[in-house]
Structure formats: C-alpha cells, structure tokens
Chain A
Amino acid sequence: MERTKDCMESYEARIHGGFPGGKPDVNDPRVLAWLIRRSGLEMTHLSRGSHIASVLSVAEIIAVLYTSVLKVDPKDPKMPDRDRLILSKGHAGSAVYTALAETGFFPVEQLKTHYANGSYLSGHVSHKGVPGVEVSTGALGHGLGIGVGMAMGAKMDRASWRTYVVLGDGECDEGSVWESALQAAQYGLDRLIAVVDYNHMQSLTTVEKTLKLEPFEQKWRDFGWNAESVDGHDTEALKAAFDRAKDNAGSGKPYVILAHTVKGKGVSFMENNILWHYRTPQGEEYEAALKELEALRP
C-alpha cells in the first residue's frame, strides 16, 4: 500500500512537499535555484537521463534570470517586447524547463515527462510544444549566433527588449561562438548579454586539459565585448552583474558575464566529478543526492 501511495503521489507534491503549505516562493532566486536542482535530480532519475551536473552548475544563473532579470509573461509567452533567452548549452534543458514550469508557463506535473516517449520535453531544450522556449538547441555553438540575429533585429526595430544567451565553457571550443562574438561586436549589439556557465569542466576532462580558455575574460574583451567575472552561485552577485549588463545598453558593445560555477554544485560526490556529465542518478546514489539537496532546502 505504501508503495502504491508513493507512486500515486504527484510529481509536484514530491518536489514542493517540503515547503510551507506545499507552496515554494518561486520569486526568490534561491528557492527557484533549489527547485531547479531538485527537479533536475528527479527528472534525470525518472528518465535515466544525463547531464545532472550541468543542471546543478547552471541553477543560480537560470533562477536569477527568471526571478529578477527577464521581462517575460507566462500568460503571454509570445509577448512582442519580451526579453529573449537562449539556452545555448541545451543539455542543461531541464533547468529551463523547471524554471518555466515553476513560474507558470506550463504545469509542473509535466516535468515528469522529460525524455519520455511521446512528450515534448526532450533531453536537449526544445521549443516545439513548450511555451516559453524561444529556440531549440543541443548542438553547441549555435545559440550565440541566433542571439546575435535577434539582437540585431531588435536594434533595427529600435526595440528595448534584450537578448540573453547562456553558454557553456566547453561550448566555447566551437569556432562558431567566436564568429558570433566578432559579429556581435562589429554590429555594436549592446542589448545582447551572454552568460558563460564557467564550471571549468567539459565532457571528458577539465577545460584546462582540453582547450584552454584563459585568459578568458580578456579574450572576450579582445573580441570587442565588455566582460566581467562573478560567482555564479551567488544570486545577489549575479543579480548585480545582470544589472550592470543591462546598464551596458548604449555602450556600443555586447556584454558577457563569466559566471564561475562548480559542476555538480550541491551534491558533494557530483561536484567536480567528470562522471556526472553523463551518469544518471539511480539507486543509492539518487537517495544520497536527494538527502544532500533536502539539507540545502532554503
């Protein structure tokens, strides 16, 4: 009976259960970041999916964007003057799906269909059938270029909305990222804001041992961008950085925030452990991760 009851429990109740009245304050970036982690664990567990460590890494970046930065409306996802967000590191798609569901773009219950046959929530973020997602990604090195086009279109229209692109650090191995970086600078797209989830790890090993990016901030500056580095898990610091990025409009240069993060952040045995780029949390590992996340509940 107990098992049956457990299975009958809704996904939402499972995730929200520990909050007062079962209602988390999703306007608080620390709460939304926690929900992104918690749902990320649940979604990759249920689907036997990958990339949990990337989701844990990008949690605060996405949470701050949806709580404090983006001008978007869940009741009108296609609002013409909305800000555009592109998750260029599409493999962290479950972070965006969670943020969208928790802020009312679609029911939280739908998150349990991540990776499922017949659902819309593919492993890499998809716009088809998912309100609030602008662009489908997954192949790396595409998002910044699409963002350049959007920001250019906004500039031609003299519109005030901004374009945000979240990149991975490993993704910056792609030559196309740097083509787009040059193009953004050339066309003075100062309402284009890129954020790099700089967790210093990629698929097989560290960034340092793969293709070195340092001096990374200087590289962006050399490509004609304004750049700053920030602690990518400090929601207040991120918020302040986004404020500076917004104030950058008028400078004639695009803006990049290098958000220093820890891959696998929040689950001790996943942190900086390359295994968890692909490994799926199951059995005792799932239970242990759950316990650690519960201890972090804000």
Chain B
Amino acid sequence: MRDAFVRVLTEEMERNDRIVLITGDLGFGVLRPLWECFPERMVNAGIAEQGMVSMAAGLAATGRTVIVYSIGNFPTLRPLEQIRNDCAYHNADVKIVCVGGGFVYGSLGMSHHATEDMSVMRAIPEITCFTPGDPAETEAVTRAMLQMPGTCYLRLGRGNEPKVHPSAVKNWVFPKALALREGTDIALLSAGGILTQAMDAAQRLETKGISAKVVSFPCLKPLDEETVRELLASFRGLVTVEENTVTGGFGSAVCEIAAEEGSGCRVRRVGLRDCFATVVGDQQYLRQVYKMDGAAIAAEAEALYAARRVESEE
C-alpha cells in the first residue's frame, strides 16, 4: 500500500506543483524518489509532530495541498489537537498519511501499534477517513483524496502487501464500498489492510459449506451507508473486521446504522477488545493472538451463522 501511495503521489506531484509533502523525519527509503524529483517541495519537520501539523495547516493556507507523512500513531494521536483545531476546523487542505495502521509494526511494541486511530480520527468533524484494503484500493483512494478539498486521513498498511483485487480499481466512486467476493449466507465487512484476513476467512467458511460475501470499505468516513443498509437487508448476519479497537471504529459505525435501521440482521465485530497488545509478535502473529486473523474471523462468522439458523428454526 505504501508503495502504491508513493507511486500515485509522485505522478500527482508531477502534475500539480502545489502539492507539498512534510515528513516527521520518517520514510528514509520510501520517500527517496520524491526527494529526488521534488526537493523544493519536500519538508522534513523533524521529530516534532505538533509543529509539523500546525505547519501543514499554515502551508495549506497559502494555497497548497499538504501531505503529512509519518508512521503509526505519530501523525494522529500525538498532534491530535492540531489536526482538530488547525486543520479540520479551518478546512485546511491537509492530507494526513499514516503508514503502519494496526499491527504492521507489531514486534516494535505497543507504542508502534496504531490500533485506535480509526476511532479517534472518525470522531473528528470534517475529516474524510480512508482505509484502503490493498494496493489497488490505495491507488484509487489516493487519487480521489488528492482531488478533494479539506482535511483527510489516509490509513495505510505497509509495503508489499498481497493484492486482493485481481486488477486495478477503475473509476472508483467516492465513498463506495467494493465487493470482492459474492456469498449468500453471511457477509464479512472489512476496513483497511486486514482485508486479506477477511478473504482468508471466506475461503475457510466455504470449506464448511458457508457462503460468505466479502465487502471492503476503503472509505471509513463518510461510510457508504447505502451499501451497509443493503447488506443489513440481504443478510441475517454481518461480521465487521478491522485491525483497530472495536470501540468507535468501523464496527461501531456499522452497528450505529444497524441500530438506527432496526433491521433483523445481527452484527458481530472483530477487532481489539479494549486492550493493548502486550505480547511480542509480528503482524500476523498478533492478529492470531488477538483473534482477528482469518481463522478467528471464520470462527466468529460460523458461530453467528449457526446462532441465526437456530433462531430461525425456533
């Protein structure tokens, strides 16, 4: 995802000389092509994220699109008030980009686990939040983001993720969800790089005779409510999947719609349950421990499907 983002940004910076990138002293290898091509439009703000985000708001006020680039929680939780007051309240054309959403930097420890950013950023008014699920979605949302005014948040995974979409996502319509697999028994709704696990879960469910639909939501806010309503109407059970706390994030957003709709569909949320990851491990290991890998998602979906069948027989 990171590489897809840099590739698209490079193209857009070639086209538009009002795009500036500020990094919080990160992205050594990744940003190198940008440093080489556009040295006058690259700013290293140093390890000073609050100053960096205020700076971005000020630069945007001079008629620029400003990309703020950092990893994990550094571009979100650390300068949160600057994002809220200086960027969002002023509708500043600032695009905050986090590399390493979820457990990407798993083995580095708790400080580097970005597991609340989706909830926190979603809560702030007038910020558009993107959570692409694979490189193809990253390319589509990055292009869309760079065309839209105002403050945005782009939550990326890492480099070299597997492709989930078989080909490029063409003509993506903001903020639409994207179906990756059709199914009739249950639906798995995914936001962010954990999409691979949702796909894995659908595969596992198929071997058990359960047909699972998989839908990716590359835009967390505004959420594609229309698609959520359609899914609520078409299925008796939905499972939301996010590499983030289940409090206030994607699963919560879906549940809010479900509750307001009052549909007969039940929603279960997969994600971190009000805890920090304390064991050491890489991304996949932590997904497994904290029950958000393909096997855990499949188990959750299977249990929900079984419960709904029993209920319907009663």
Interface membership of A175, Cβ < 8 A:
yes
Residues 21 to 49 of chain B near chain A (Cβ within 8 Å) = 40-41, 43, 45-46, 48
Q: In the complex, how many residues of chain A place their beta carbon closer than 8 angstroms to a beta carbon of chain B?
A: 33
* A183 and B61 within 8 A (CB): no
A152 at the interface (CB under 8 A from B): yes
Given the known interface contacts A134-B61, A136-B89, the answer about A149 and B48 at a Cβ–Cβ threshold of 8 Å is no
A13 contacts partner chain B, Cβ-Cβ < 8 Å: no
Asked if A135 and B45 make an inter-chain contact with CB atoms under 8 angstroms apart, the answer reads no
Pick from B46, B50, B61, B85: contact of A149, CB under 8 Å: B61
A28-72 residues at the B interface, CB under 8 angstroms: none
Candidates B53, B59, B81, B86; contact of A152 at CB < 8 Å = B59
Q: How far is the CB of A93 from chain B (nearest CB, A)?
A: 14
Chain B residue numbers with a CB within 8 Å of A146 are 54-55, 57-58, 61, 86
Mark contacts of A100-142 with chain B using CB atoms, 8 A cut-off: 1 yes-contact digit, 0 otherwise. 0000000000000000000000000001000000111111011
User: Measured between alpha carbons, how far is A288 from B12 in the docked complex, in Å?
Assistant: 63
List chain B residues, Cβ under 8 A from A186.
Answer: 46
Which residue of A has the minimal Cβ distance to B48? Answer: A179
Tally B residues with Cβ within 8 Å of A. Answer: 29
* Interface contact B55-A136, CB-CB below 8 Å: no
Q: Taking A127-B90, A136-B90, A145-B86 as contacts, is the C-beta distance between A153 and B59 under 8 angstroms? A: yes
Bits for A151-162, please: 1 = Cβ < 8 Å to B, else 0.
111101100000
Our pick among B55, B60, B62 for the contact of A145 (Cβ within 8 Å) is B55
- With beta carbons under 8 angstroms apart, the residue of A145, A156, A183 that contacts B82 is A145
- Bound together, the chains give a CA A74 to CA B59 distance in angstroms of 23
> Taking the complex as formed, is A166 at the interface, i.e. its CB lies under 8 A from any CB of chain B?
no
Report if B125 contacts A (CB, 8 A): no
Q: How far is the CB of A71 from chain B (nearest CB, A)?
A: 16
A147 at the interface (CB under 8 A from B): yes
| CB pair B56 A149 closer than 8 Å | yes
Which listed residue (A138, A152, A154) contacts B55, Cβ 8 A?
Answer: A152
Known A127-B90, A136-B90, A182-B46; judge A153-B58 contact (CB<8 A).
yes
Q: Smallest CB–CB gap between A225 and chain B, Å?
A: 15
Interface pair A182/B48, CB less than 8 Å apart = yes
A176 at the interface (CB under 8 A from B): yes
Interface string of A178-217 (1 = CB under 8 A from B): 0110110011000000000000000000000000000000
Cα distance A141–B62 in the bound complex, in angstroms: 20
B63 touches A153 (CB 8 A): yes
Name the CB-closest residue of A to B53.
Answer: A145
Rounded to whole angstroms, the CA-CA distance of A136 and B88 in the bound complex is 11
In the complex, the answer to whether B51 meets A145 with C-beta atoms within 8 Å is yes
Query: Residues of A contacting B63 with CB < 8 Å?
Result: 153
B163 is an interface residue with CB less than 8 A from chain A: no
In the bound complex, CA of A139 to CA of B89 (Å):
13
Residues in B whose Cβ lies below 8 Å from that of A257: none
Q: Given that A150-B62, A186-B46 are contacting pairs, would A142 and B55 also be in contact in the complex, using a CB cutoff of 8 Å?
A: no
- Do the beta carbons of A148 and B51 come within 8 Å of each other? yes
Which B46-97 residues have a C-beta within 8 angstroms of A? 46, 48, 50-64, 66, 81-82, 85-86, 89-90
Q: How far is the CA of A187 from the CA of B64 in the complex (A)?
A: 18
User: Which of A139, A145, A152, A163 makes the CB contact (< 8 A) with B43?
Assistant: A152
Which residue, A147, A148, A151, A186, has most C-beta atoms of chain B within 10 A? A148
CB <8 Å contact, A142 and B85: yes
Cα–Cα, bound, A187→B58 (Å): 14
A145 near B89 with CB under 8 A, answer no
Select from chain B the residue with minimum beta-carbon distance to A80: B63
Interchain CB contact under 8 A, A148 and B46: no
Q: A residues bordering B, Cβ < 8 Å?
A: 84, 127, 134-139, 141-154, 156-157, 163, 175-176, 179-180, 182-183, 186-187
| Cross-chain pairs A/B with CB under 8 angstroms, 9 sampled | A136-B85, A145-B51, A145-B55, A146-B61, A149-B56, A150-B58, A163-B58, A175-B50, A182-B46
Further 13 A-B residue pairs, CB within 8 A, beyond A145-B55, A153-B58, A156-B62: A134-B61, A135-B61, A137-B85, A142-B81, A142-B85, A145-B50, A146-B61, A147-B58, A149-B54, A149-B59, A176-B50, A183-B45, A187-B43
The 6 closest A-B pairs by CB, nearest first: A149-B58, A145-B54, A153-B62, A179-B51, A179-B48, A176-B50
